[in-house]
Amino acid sequence: IDDVSDFFFFLKEGLKQGAELPQEYLIPSHYINAIRELYNYERRYRDVVTLAEKVLENHRTVDKLVIREIRYWMCLALARLRDSRFYQEVRELGEIEREFVYGFYYRLIGKYENAVQCLIRVLEMKPDHYRAKSELVQSYLNSQQYEKAYSLARENYLIDKNNPYNLYSFIRCLISIKDTTNKDEIIRLIYELGKSSQP
C-alpha cells in the first residue's frame, strides 16, 4: 500500500466484504462510507444490515451521531428488505428521521396515503428536507395525485437539474396532467434525461 488514501480504501473495501480488520485502524467514517456505498451504489441491503449490526454491538465506544447515522441507513435497508426488525429499529431514530423512514417504508409497500402523511410531517418540521420532497413526489405519483406532485417535482428539478430521478418525476407529472402547452418542455426534458443517463 503506497499511501494513506490507498490504506483507507483498503479498510473500507474490507468492511464491505465482511473482513475482520484491526479496530485500531478503523474510524467512524470508514463504516459510514462503506455502508453508504453498499446501500446507494451496490444495493447490497443485507450487507448494510450486517455491517450496521456489527457497529451497533459496540455502540458504547462509538459517537452518538455516528450511531444515529448508521441506524438510519440500517432502517432504510431493513425497509427495502421488508424485514420485520424494521419496526424495532426505527423507534430508535430521532423524530424527523423516524417519520421520513416510515414514509419511505409505506411508499415501498404501497400504502401511499400513510407515506404522504409521514412525509408531510417531516416537511412541517424541516421544510428543506430534500429526500422527503422526493419521496413525497413519488408517493403522489404512485397514487396518481399528479396535480399535487407537480409543484414539488418542478421544485426538485430546478434545485438539481442533473438528477435523473428529478427529471423523470417532473416528466411524469407533465405528461400525466395532460397539458398540451407543455409539449416542447417535455421533449426538451426527455432529451436532457437521455443525456443524463449516458456514461
Question: What is the tens place of the pLDDT at every residue in 145-159?
Answer: 999 999 999 999 999
61 DSSP assignment: G
pLDDT for position 184: 83
Higher pLDDT, residue 40 or 195: 40
Question: How many other CB atoms are there within 10 angstroms of residue 12's CB atom?
Answer: 20
Cell of 48: 448494510
- Cβ-proximal residues to 191 (8 Å cutoff; 6+ apart), any chain: none
Higher pLDDT, residue 6 or 145: 145
Integer Cα distance of 41 and 44 in angstroms: 8
pLDDT band at 93 (very low <50, low <70, confident <90, very high): very high
pLDDT tens digits, residue range 47-80? Answer: 999 988 887 886 666 678 888 999 999 999 999 9
Integer Cα distance of 98 and 118 in angstroms: 9
User: Per residue in 120-155, is it b (16+ CB within 10 Å) or e — as a string?
Assistant: ebbbeeeeebeebbbbbbbbbbebebbebbbebbbe
pLDDT band at 11 (very low <50, low <70, confident <90, very high): low
Instruction: With a cut of 70, say whether residue 142 has pLDDT above it.
Output: yes
Question: By C-alpha distance, which of 79, 125, 66, 68 is closest to 106?
Answer: 79
Instruction: With a cut of 50, say whether residue 39 has pLDDT above it.
Output: yes
Integer Cα distance of 94 and 111 in angstroms: 22
> First-to-last CA distance in the chain?
30
- Between CA 167 and CA 170, with CA 168 as vertex, the angle to 5 degrees is 65
Higher pLDDT, residue 131 or 64: 131
pLDDT for position 188: 86
55, 31 contact by CB (below 8 A) = yes
Question: How many other CB atoms are there within 10 angstroms of residue 89's CB atom?
Answer: 21
Instruction: With a cut of 70, say whether residue 6 has pLDDT above it.
Output: no
pLDDT for position 143: 96
Q: State the pTM of this model.
A: 0.81
130, 154 contact by CB (below 8 A) = no
Average pLDDT of the chain, as a whole number: 85
> For 33-42, 110-119, 123-132, which range has the lowest pLDDT when averaged over its residues?
33-42
Average pLDDT rounded to a whole number, residues 133-148: 96
pLDDT for position 63: 78
